[in-house]
């Protein structure tokens, strides 16, 4: 029995036989590659379970594993909300929400209307050279060594550098942002999460105030000058917009990239193919995004509803692990195999109104990182005896990725 099962009351509408163990909860760790056995095993179990610890903070949640049910929940903004799924604002006793991810229609539509132009193909093409330069900058620092810890040497810092570029913030902030990101996302201690949130808030507000005085061509200035419904954003909306970009755009890219490179390190034939035919990289990334999705999305039920054969009541939490859904055998043939030319429709970026607004940028970062890495570094593999610890939960992240190659 774990800590959660000892204290949580099971609500009356939850049939006892539906209570089940969910192995991928936040706080759990494993030394095995969770995609090999743990994730496929979930599809051998029930279509939905009520887990006592699937919601962050060892809280109970329904866990849906089938794409059909998860799609239905993503599309249903009448019975489900994203409001307040993250702890950050509440920890400071504040009133802001992450914008747009923790907002509902009709306001959500206004925020998305404001943000969609930021990630158009034209905007992304304009960023291409700078993103490539940043990838090379990091790779140049270790390419002659014959080894790297892909996490420390590349995957953590490269997406932060891209984010700083977009926000118009100096590159000298990379280390500070990495420390804050760890405090916000990977720190179990609530007091430390609150400290990191306060630091991010103070810093972002100082930058927002500078842009208010002197707007330039960056995303913070965009938020400062943007209008919705004929008015400027309120302070809460403006900060929520900056904060959502902060939590949405760095750790997710880091983690997905790490799994993609682990796959190439452990599958030499795939690595050789992408070296020989780099034009296959964008299609391969789509399959790697499907097979190694790392994010779990959450909702709260706000009106009674039947879903996947179970009764949900207001207040019930719902966990939708894209990690698991993307390997649904009802949708994908041989779901646990990586078929680099599959070109799948996956839910790695979510679905429905909250579908990831940054997906075009994420894809570009992932493609550029793989192109540049394969061009600069010869055939690589996992370091012998590498012991990788994976943190499970909301963003399933390996703690290190030691790679080696011949100098
Ligand atoms: C591989 C990298 C990424 C993954 C796997 C990912 C995944 C997701 C997912 C699953 C959602 C839906 C959340 C939900 O339905 O509750 C989402 C939303 C969002 N993502 Fe991403 N994301 C990535 C990169 C980015 C980047 C680079 C940015 C920004 C620069 C970003 C910004 C956002 C924002 C602002 C939302 C909220 C959209 C809305 O509520 O309308 N993401 N992301």
Determine the Cα angle at 243 with ends 124 and 201, to 5°: 135
CB 161 within 8 A of CB 178: no
Instruction: Give the atom of ligand 1 at the shortest distance from the alpha carbon of 102.
Output: 40
The helix or strand, by DSSP H or E, that contains position 175, with its residue range, turns out to be helix 174-185
Whether cis (ω within 30° of 0) applies to the bond prior to 106 is: yes
Nearest CA to ligand 1 atom 1: 253
pLDDT of residue 307: 96
Q: Are strands 317-321 and 59-64 parallel, antiparallel or unpaired?
A: parallel
Q: Are strands 227-228 and 231-232 parallel, antiparallel or unpaired?
A: antiparallel
CA of 362 to the centre of ligand 1 (A): 9
What's the CATH number where 149 sits?
1.10.630.10
Long-range contacts, stretch 134-138, CB < 8 angstroms, 24+ apart = 134/158, 134/161, 134/162, 134/165, 135/368, 135/369, 135/372, 135/373, 136/372, 136/376, 137/161
pLDDT of residue 7: 64
205, HSE (Cβ side, Cα atoms, 13 Å): 11
Taking Cα atoms as reference points, which of 253, 322, 263 lies closest to residue 290? 322
Tokens of 139: 């790779």
Structural domain of 132 = 3-405
pLDDT of residue 8: 74
pLDDT of residue 65: 97
CB 263 within 8 A of CB 194: no
Paired with 80 in beta bridges are 301
- Domain count for the chain, please give it: 1
Instruction: Give the atom of ligand 1 at the shortest distance from the alpha carbon of 112.
Output: 41
CA of 145 to the centre of ligand 1 (A): 34
Residue list, ligand 1 pocket, CB within 6 Å: 82, 100-101, 112, 244-245, 248-249, 252-253, 256, 295, 297, 322, 348-350, 354, 356-358, 361-362
Entry pTM: 0.96
Q: Is 67 left (phi over 0), alpha (psi -120 to 50) or beta?
A: alpha
Buried/exposed 108-119: b ≥16 CB within 10 Å, e otherwise? bebbbebbeebb
Among 103, 134, 238, 356, say which to mutate for ligand 1: greatest number of ligand atoms within 8 Å of CB.
356
pLDDT digits (tens, 9 = 90+) for 322-351: 999 999 999 999 999 999 999 999 999 999
Paired with 380 in beta bridges are 405
pLDDT of residue 288: 98
What is the chain's Cα-based Rg?
A: 21
CA of 270 to the centre of ligand 1 (A): 27
SS3 97: coil
CA of 360 to the centre of ligand 1 (A): 10
358 CB contacts (<8 Å, ≥6 apart)?
119, 245, 248, 249
The widest CA-to-CA distance across the chain, in whole angstroms, is 63
Burial class, 236, CB count within 10 angstroms (exposed 0-12 / middle 13-18 / buried 19+): middle
CA of 358 to the centre of ligand 1 (A): 6
Instruction: Give the atom of ligand 1 at the shortest distance from the alpha carbon of 322.
Output: 10
Instruction: Collect the ranges in the chain with pLDDT lower than 70.
Output: 1-7
- Say how far apart CA 271 and CA 249 lie, in whole Å: 26
């Amino acid at each position: 029995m774990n800590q959660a099962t000892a204290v949580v009351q099971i609500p009356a509408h939850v049939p006892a036989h539906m209570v089940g163990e969910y192995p991928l909860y936040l706080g759990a760790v494993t030394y095995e590659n969770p995609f090999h056995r743990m994730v496929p095993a979930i599809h051998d179990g029930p279509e939905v379970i009520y887990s006592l610890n699937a919601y962050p903070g060892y809280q109970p949640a329904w866990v849906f594993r089938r794409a059909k049910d998860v799609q239905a929940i993503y599309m249903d903004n009448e019975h489900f909300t994203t409001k307040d799924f993250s702890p950050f604002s509440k920890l400071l006793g504040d009133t802001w929400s992450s914008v747009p991810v923790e907002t509902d229609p009709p306001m959500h539509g206004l925020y998305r209307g404001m943000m969609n132009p930021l990630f158009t193909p034209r905007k992304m093409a304009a960023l291409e050279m700078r993103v490539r330069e940043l990838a090379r900058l990091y790779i140049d620092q270790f390419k002659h060594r014959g080894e790297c810890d892909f996490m420390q040497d590349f995957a953590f810092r490269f997406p932060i550098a891209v984010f700083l570029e977009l926000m118009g913030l100096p590159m000298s902030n990379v280390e500070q942002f990495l420390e804050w990101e760890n405090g916000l996302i990977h720190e179990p201690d609530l007091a430390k999460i609150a400290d990191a949130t306060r630091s991010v808030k103070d810093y972002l507000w100082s930058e927002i105030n500078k842009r208010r005085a002197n707007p330039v061509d960056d995303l913070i200035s965009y938020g400062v000058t943007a209008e919705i419904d004929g008015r400027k954003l309120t302070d809460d909306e403006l900060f929520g917009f900056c904060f959502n970009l902060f939590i949405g755009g760095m750790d997710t890219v880091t983690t997905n990239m790490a799994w993609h490179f682990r796959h190439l390190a452990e599958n030499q034939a795939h690595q050789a193919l992408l070296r020989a035919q780099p034009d296959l990289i964008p299609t391969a990334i789509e399959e790697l995004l499907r097979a190694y999705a790392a994010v779990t999305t959450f909702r709260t039920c706000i009106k009674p509803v039947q879903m996947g054969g179970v009764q949900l009541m207001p207040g019930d939490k719902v966990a939708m692990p894209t990690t698991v859904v993307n390997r649904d055998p009802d949708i994908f043939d041989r779901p646990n195999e990586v078929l680099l030319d599959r070109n799948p429709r996956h839910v790695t970026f979510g679905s429905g109104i909250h579908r990831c607004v940054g997906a075009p940028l994420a894809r570009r970062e992932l493609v550029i990182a793989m192109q540049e890495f394969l061009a600069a570094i010869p055939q690589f593999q996992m370091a012998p005896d590498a012991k990788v610890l994976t943190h499970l939960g909301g963003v399933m992240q390996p703690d290190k990725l030691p790679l080696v190659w011949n100098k």
